[in-house]
Structure 1
Amino acid sequence: MIRALATSASAVLAWNVARLALQLAWVLLLARALGPDGYGTFSGLAGLGLALGGFAALGMGLRLYEHVARDHAVLDSHWALVRRGLAWSAPVLLVLYLLCAFGMLIDAAAVVIVSIGVAEILLAPLCTQVAFAYASVGRMGESAAAPVALSVARVAAAGCLLVLPSMGLAGYAILHVFTTLVAVWWIWRLAHRRLGLSRHSRRVNAAELKSGLGFASIWASGLALTSLDKTAVMYAGGGAVAGEYTAGYRLASVAALPVEALTVVVMPRLFRAGAGKPLSMRHTLLLVAGVLTYGGVAGWLVSLAAPVVPLLLGEGFAGLVPLVAMLGWWVPAYCLRMLSGNMLLGYGRKRVRICVELSGLAVMAILVLWWVPGSDLSGALRALLVAEWWMACLSLVMVTLLPFTRHARSGSA
């Protein structure tokens, strides 16, 4: 098992390196071109869109992942449900996003708000569903490659903004939605050809809808944790604080790249474990210990990166420099939470994972509203740190208390 995981993880890691390198370039270009205030406003709106976009397809993509990982023959049937779920959910979610964004009285032009909503709710979820389809049949490299095309398109849009800074945030928002459309169209057509996917949809029955919404809640709660925090910081501290917070978060998250690759690769095995083929206690402990060790080392390296922040982002982000060490403590918690959360998902403990993540989101929101108005960026990073460690510890406790840990002691991985 370990050798197979390493081989598959290498391919996923290579594509994830490309994706995160592109995302890093996107952050750097956009932050330099827009400055803390413009970048923070964009990130806050995009965070809201990403959180709501997590419900696109009504969870049918993750449901497809679980069922097809166990039996590849049912791919076409479940893909038809994905298409129907997207058609019904995305327009409704876009309307909800617009109501929330305009209701928050955000200081941004209407074209910015609408463009970001279309890109993150109507278009980007299509790429996510394609990645699920590839991964469900074991094509992990292609699953990891799908988001790379989207990242290339967005870097191109940010590059245009850097060359023509007079476009401003409104001009970039239009480029953002256009390049997203082009990339998603290409990804969608290529996946249908390579996987032989049906172009038809079918009605979703009540049982399928209930199951899908359970998965949607998991996916959306995970996206909310990595998205709505930017919206909350923007609301409590303004665009400039949100810009520095988001830039620091994005830079630190690069350190978690190998753990993200590992969790992607191990998910089919965890789904099979939940279907009666549990991991052994030894392999479970090795995964947890390895992730914690890596997270600790990566976090220490992040804490040493303070001097390069102004060089990468510009002097407008200098306020982040004395606080980078806090992000170093965040990295191991984030890594542990990713692994533990996916273990809960694989073993069918969806409600437990949702409760853990919603509790973390609540902690984050409360602390942001409490600490940010008085201490700006420092308060935002302290809120992030407390919320992440709370979720990491709670999810690990939930994993150790599950019955499968006892049954798996003599099991084979």
Structure 2
Amino acid sequence: MTGPDGFTKRYRVGRLGQNTVLYAGGMGARAVIQAAYLVLLSRWMGPEGYGYFAGSVAAAVILSPLAGWGVSFLIARNVGLDATARGAMWATALNQIALSGIVLVSLVMLASAGLLDHRVSTSAMLMLAIAELVALPMANTAAGLALAVDKGWAATVATMLVPAGRLSSVGAWMASGGHPSPDAVAAAHLCGSLLGAAAAFLLMARIGARPQWQERLPMLSAARVGMSHAFGTLVGVSYLELDKVILLQVVDAATAGAYTVAFRAVALFVLPVTALVASAIPRLLTSAGGPAEPVLRRAIQRTLVGYAILATALALVSAPLLPMVFGPGYSGSSRYMVMLAPWIMIFAAHQYLGTRLTTSDRQGLRLAIESGGMVLLLALNLHWIPELGADGAVAALYCAELVMILAFAWRGGRKTS
């Protein structure tokens, strides 16, 4: 007969599986929406126009993990332990996203004034920065809150809202006969992002997460606790955008566009990896050190290995289709996608090993490793891209990822005293 502990283990794994399937389904639908958006923009704007747009978006995305200043971790921890805290933590999240957004948008504008190609106007950069540093983080945080309260269906919806809003807005502009300039597309991109963020706010009310402003965490306290996780997410995510910005600046927009299409196509295959990790973190935090933890970790490990192998094969098979889907101007994208396909397995290993540190109260160690990896990646990109172009970007990515994985594996089993 199954005892209470056994039932709890089964229930936790079952709920994790259910939420992962739901959230992965949402990420899958999001992937379809993002693929449609990618096809629409790349064909409409052409390799050069899309290269300018994608490079500018990447410049804003680099800072996007700092949006909310680590509040997603606070939600996973606090709401995972006490579901009644959802209103207070949603208010905390909105407050943190708004305040951090002001700072981050200002930083992007200062950087773009001196470093980025001025064929993308200041107003366009401002719109892209708001879209990536305020609107999108709001919807993503809503999805994390839904997962923390076991509302997998709400997380599924939340993760699709901003991409769907962007596709609808840009599609409407295109259908109206609008011009495919980076400035016009940036305006439509922002409008769609704001629509998605507004819908996420309404969705949170639907699951009982109305902002409880008087009960929100003090700003300084929330920022202090979330700081290491904010910077950990920064280096753990933004390192993937460095190459697009450098390609745009030191090679040309057409190469940046072709490489970005290939990278975004491969990135669609890693969305289920992200979904599984996001679903698992609240449960791993609450089960840390208990008998349920090894069961969860083994289930996650087996799932990631099986999926990564399958996804890599699918990416290789899909590579020749890119010029047919995006247009003949993207013929070079197929070659880049073949080169990038094995990165899916490397990314899965990175996320699994990194999450082990995060959920065992060693986020500082993860931050140190990934910070070193980001510095290494930046140095390799600056050294190889001017000489090798996009091939140098691929080589730099693999080198930096493997160094980080080796460091994770070396330190992962060594507990601090």
Q: TM-score, normalised to structure 1's length?
A: 0.89
Alignment counterpart, residue 370 of structure 2, candidates 333, 348, 357:
357
Q: Counterpart amino acid of 1:255?
A: F
On the 8 A contact 1:57/1:89 being kept in 2, the answer is yes
Query: In structure 1, how many angstroms separate the alpha carbons of the residues matched to 2:153 and 2:240?
Result: 24
Is residue 43 of structure 1 aligned with residue 54 of structure 2?
yes
Alignment counterpart, residue 320 of structure 2, candidates 288, 307, 311:
307
Match of 1:217 in 2: 231
Cα distance change, pair 197–278 in 1 and its aligned pair in 2 (3 A): farther
Deviation at 1:206, TM superposition (A): 4.4
Query: In structure 1, how many angstroms separate the alpha carbons of the residues matched to 2:189 and 2:393?
Result: 27
Match of 1:32 in 2: 43
Alignment counterpart, residue 183 of structure 1, candidates 191, 196, 216:
196
Alignment counterpart, residue 328 of structure 1, candidates 329, 337, 341:
341
Which ranges of structure 1 fall in alignment gaps of 5 or more residues?
405-413
Query: In structure 1, how many angstroms separate the alpha carbons of the residues matched to 2:141 and 2:87?
Result: 13
Query: In structure 1, how many angstroms separate the alpha carbons of the residues matched to 2:305 and 2:237?
Result: 22
Match of 2:30 in 1: 19
Q: Higher mean Cα deviation, 244-253 or 289-298?
A: 289-298
SS in structure 2 opposite 1:264?
helix
Q: Counterpart amino acid of 2:276?
A: L
Deviations 1:159-217 (A, max 9, x none): 24544363422111111111211221121133134324225255626443310212222
Query: In structure 1, how many angstroms separate the alpha carbons of the residues matched to 2:80 and 2:259?
Result: 37
**1:46-125 mapped onto 2 (5 Å cutoff):** 46-107=57-118, 108-125=120-137
Query: In structure 1, how many angstroms separate the alpha carbons of the residues matched to 2:247 and 2:414?
Result: 34
Alignment counterpart, residue 150 of structure 2, candidates 124, 128, 138:
138
Q: Higher mean Cα deviation, 356-365 or 21-30?
A: 356-365
SS in structure 1 opposite 2:361?
coil
Query: In structure 2, how many angstroms separate the alpha carbons of the residues matched to 1:4 and 1:133?
Result: 16
SS in structure 2 opposite 1:304?
helix
Deviations 1:357-392 (A, max 9, x none): 222222221121111111212112222222223333
Query: In structure 2, how many angstroms separate the alpha carbons of the residues matched to 1:294 and 1:252?
Result: 14
Is residue 204 of structure 1 aligned with residue 218 of structure 2?
yes
On the 8 A contact 1:30/1:162 being kept in 2, the answer is no
SS in structure 1 opposite 2:62?
helix
SS in structure 1 opposite 2:63?
helix
Match of 1:7 in 2: 18
Deviation at 1:16, TM superposition (A): 1.3
Cα distance change, pair 400–240 in 1 and its aligned pair in 2 (3 A): farther
Query: In structure 2, how many angstroms separate the alpha carbons of the residues matched to 1:324 and 1:209?
Result: 39
Match of 1:411 in 2: none
SS in structure 2 opposite 1:198?
coil
Q: Counterpart amino acid of 1:254?
A: L
Deviations 1:330-365 (A, max 9, x none): 110011112222222222221122122222222221
Q: Higher mean Cα deviation, 105-114 or 192-201?
A: 192-201
Deviations 1:282-301 (A, max 9, x none): 65345334423432332133
SS in structure 2 opposite 1:166?
coil
Q: Counterpart amino acid of 2:130?
A: V
Is residue 234 of structure 1 aligned with residue 248 of structure 2?
yes
Deviation at 1:25, TM superposition (A): 0.9
Deviation at 1:267, TM superposition (A): 1.5
Query: In structure 2, how many angstroms separate the alpha carbons of the residues matched to 1:25 and 1:159?
Result: 10
Q: Higher mean Cα deviation, 173-182 or 299-308?
A: 299-308
Q: Higher mean Cα deviation, 285-294 or 215-224?
A: 285-294
SS in structure 2 opposite 1:277?
coil
On the 8 A contact 1:329/1:385 being kept in 2, the answer is no
Cα distance change, pair 278–370 in 1 and its aligned pair in 2 (3 A): farther
SS in structure 1 opposite 2:69?
helix
RMSD: 2.4
On the 8 A contact 1:337/1:396 being kept in 2, the answer is no
Is residue 150 of structure 1 aligned with residue 162 of structure 2?
yes
Cα distance change, pair 400–301 in 1 and its aligned pair in 2 (3 A): farther
SS in structure 1 opposite 2:401?
helix
Deviation at 1:401, TM superposition (A): 3.1
Query: In structure 1, how many angstroms separate the alpha carbons of the residues matched to 2:201 and 2:252?
Result: 37
Cα distance change, pair 161–336 in 1 and its aligned pair in 2 (3 A): farther
SS in structure 2 opposite 1:138?
coil
Match of 1:407 in 2: none
Query: In structure 2, how many angstroms separate the alpha carbons of the residues matched to 1:162 and 1:329?
Result: 35
Match of 1:284 in 2: 297
SS in structure 1 opposite 2:207?
helix
Query: In structure 2, how many angstroms separate the alpha carbons of the residues matched to 1:161 and 1:374?
Result: 39
Match of 2:140 in 1: 128
Cα distance change, pair 179–257 in 1 and its aligned pair in 2 (3 A): closer
Query: In structure 1, how many angstroms separate the alpha carbons of the residues matched to 2:383 and 2:24?
Result: 38
Which ranges of structure 2 fall in alignment gaps of 5 or more residues?
1-9
Cα distance change, pair 316–365 in 1 and its aligned pair in 2 (3 A): same
Q: Counterpart amino acid of 1:28?
A: V
